[in-house]
Amino acid sequence: MNIQKVSIVRINGASSENTTDLIVVEEPVEIRLEYWDVVKGWVEKSVSITMRTPGEDEALAVGFLKTEGIVKGDDIDSAKVSLDNTVTVKLKPHVRPDLQKLQRNFYATSSCGVCGKSSLDALGYTYENLDFAKNLAPLSPELITSLPDKLTTFQRIFDQTGGIHAAGLFDREGNLQLYAEDVGRHNAVDKIAGKALLNHFSTFNKHILVLSGRACFELLHKALAMSIPVVVAVGAPSSLAVETAEKFGQTLIGFTREGRFNIYTGPQRIG
């Protein structure tokens, strides 16, 4: 259940009334990784505790492991949700996860999984397998400005609560391929990554990631982990998001609304 009814007092000028309102549910989930160790046998390790909106938890866990570089497309054996708000992702017996990557932050909040870092170099990220498609015709401004409105047509939980983030993956013709909502903006993107992996989607090196709010570093990082070349945000980007997009050749667009937008990096892809 991702929506909850609560009792409220609604104030309107000098009048008040007792009524009810719908709010989005926010609860913790623990992501656990199960893998084969040649000495110990099957080992289960806690990877992250994150605040999220319940639903699509398997996709969230798998997407998180994917965007953090811990698993690849064919590494997953299964993903199972338990009643105690735990998701266990089991790897295939031959897969040896990079446990050093598990040391990064892995207590994530619903607002930003990586906060308080002052520079991109301090984070130590590399994207050696970036595969942005080249020699494509530029995307039209009309297409870019149409995407936020298309995204809102799928925001079912937002329509009822007004308190949730959304992310959508579009192709170059403006067709929605994958969609997710979550109280955590980075969780919404992880759910998209997880859906792609679990459903054996191919590469996204020609696609556009659309965000219902602002663009922070964590979201650019996750888009880069999926080799997505263009990120379109309704809100503002952060300085580290711009620095990240610039460094890795990604196109970052912000303040996309009412027929206008700002291109912060990669203007060659828009024409």
**CB distance 146 to 172 below 8 Å:** no
The verdict on pTM exceeding 0.75 is yes
Q: Which of 22, 112, 236, 242 is catalytic?
A: 112
Question: Is residue 216 flagged as an active site residue?
Answer: no
For the stretch 26-49, pLDDT in tens is: 999 999 999 999 999 999 999 999
pLDDT of residue 113: 47
The total number of residues shown for the chain amounts to 271
pLDDT, averaged across the chain? 88
**CB distance 91 to 35 below 8 Å:** yes
Q: State the sign of the Cα–Cα–Cα–Cα dihedral 210, 212, 217, 222.
A: negative
Cα atoms found within 13 Å of the Cα of residue 52, Cβ hemisphere only: 29
Specify the CATH class of 27-115 in words.
Answer: alpha beta
pLDDT of residue 115: 44
For 61-65, 197-201, 264-268, which range has the lowest pLDDT when averaged over its residues? 197-201
Residue partners of 184: CB distance under 8 A and separation at least 6: 50, 51, 52, 53, 108, 109, 110, 111, 165
pLDDT of residue 156: 76
pLDDT of residue 126: 66
Q: Is 245 helix (H, G, I), strand (E, B) or coil?
A: helix
For the stretch 200-252, pLDDT in tens is: 887 899 999 999 999 999 999 999 999 999 999 999 999 999 999 999 999 99
The domain segmentation of the chain, as residue ranges, is: 27-115, 141-269
Tell me the one-letter amino acid at 224.
L
The alpha carbon of 78 is separated from its chain's Cα centroid by a whole number of angstroms, namely 21
pLDDT of residue 73: 81
Cα 139 from Cα 164, distance rounded (Å): 28
Q: Which CATH superfamily is domain 141-269 in?
A: Cytidine Deaminase, domain 2 (3.40.140.10)
For the stretch 58-113, pLDDT in tens is: 999 999 999 988 888 889 999 999 988 999 999 999 999 887 766 654 444 444 54
E-strand ranges in 92-164 read: 107-108
pLDDT of residue 33: 95
